[in-house]
Amino acid sequence: MLHEALRGIKVLDLSRILAGPWCTQNLADLGAQVIKIEHPERGDDTRGWGPPDLRAADGAASMSAYFMACNRGKQSVALDFSSAAGAERVRELAADADILVENYKAGGLRKYGLDYAALSEINPRLIYLSITGYGQTGPMAAKPGYDYVFQGMGGLMSYTGQPDGMPGAGPLRTGVAVVDLMTGMYATSAVLAALHQRDRTGRGMPLDICLLDVAVALNANQGANYLVSGVSPHRTGNAHPNCAPYEVFACADGHLILAIGNDGQFARFCEVVAHPEWSRDDRYATNSARLVNMDSLRPLIADALGGAEWRRWTDAFDAAGVPWGPIHTLEEVFAHPQVRHRGLVQTVRHPVLGELRLVRNPLLAGTPREALGAAPPLLGEHTHAVLAGRNTN
């Protein structure tokens, strides 16, 4: 089972906020021992990113929901490595670690003797992952940055949002820190590849993952569209730049997402809404033609769908094989029968905070639920055990 794939791997986690912790939570979910080093007084910044917070029954301890989202399965050790004694304890932990993850400014750990050059002398097998805003080199390497900055700088916000002239027009960020999350996923892949390479070479290596690189890569087909055409994409609201109709439409009692990916699906859609002539019209018969003529097709579809409740259409779309989707609140998401069947809500018990509900890692589909991760830790919860050499996982 994948939840034991990294059993025996020791990870020293000096990262904070989201990108680094998302990576190390993946490693913990895959069975690694993850030791999270936190400042004894402040801890990870996200411990204070509430409400909402989960509180113990007696009110003596609490944990923010944000921190819970990305720190499952870790051991918290309270150490101040800005002191000589604290830095030495971190070096002792790094001496037999397999992976170290940090997200300080480029070169920021050098003054404590905790940079790759220093630690690789102690442990040549160490894989040292640095996550920064702009990378380890270049004219902006020393500058810090948060996800929001890179959603704008990397281009994502330039084509996300309602187009000019529409209500609410203007650039728009995504509802979650998507650059941080994708950086954590790219970092996870890099670490796993470095572990595989170490099996062949016997040596670790430094890894340089930065949010700017990820933000640029995240443009995906939009980036490719620009590189091919030389034209920067513009904001199209909920419409897709390469497929049509592929957007949100209103029904009499709500909204649905129509996701037509080819001409056959469009023809079946036209049959369902009793307008088969659309699929024979040269303006709409092919995806390329629909993209060009969507301004005239959109109101036709809106009129057809708007006269009935969405359930009438969705049942018919299912029967005809027309792709569609609902727009759920999170209450509806977690109550959905398919989400429940997939076991995406994981319940774990913390010795102080009691029962916690978390979202299960999609990597672990098929893993027995009772085998899934430990609760996120309180600040310094495992300090004495870890420094005494005990693995509490």
**Catalytic residue ranges:** 180
Element at 121 (helix H, strand E):
helix 116-122
Residues 6+ apart with CB under 8 A from 380: 38, 40, 43, 76, 77, 78
First-residue to last-residue Cα distance in the chain = 17
Crossing angle of helices 19-29/178-201, nearest 10°? 50
Exposure string for 19-57, b = 16+ CB within 10 A, e = fewer: bbbbbbbbbbbbbbbbbbbbbeeebbebbeeeeebbeee
Q: CA-CA distance, 207 to 209, in Å (whole number)?
A: 6
> 158-164: long-range contacts at Cβ-Cβ below 8 A with a sequence spacing of 24 or more?
158/232, 158/233, 158/234, 158/235, 159/222, 159/232, 159/233, 159/234, 159/235, 159/236, 159/241, 160/235, 161/235, 161/237, 162/235, 162/237, 163/234, 163/235, 163/236, 163/237, 164/235
CB atoms near residue 296 (< 10 Å): 12
Q: CA-CA distance, 201 to 193, in Å (whole number)?
A: 12
Cβ atoms of residues 61 and 353 within 8 Å: yes
Exposure string for 312-332, b = 16+ CB within 10 A, e = fewer: ebbebbeeeebebeeeeeeee
φ, ψ (nearest 5 deg) of residue 250: -90, 140
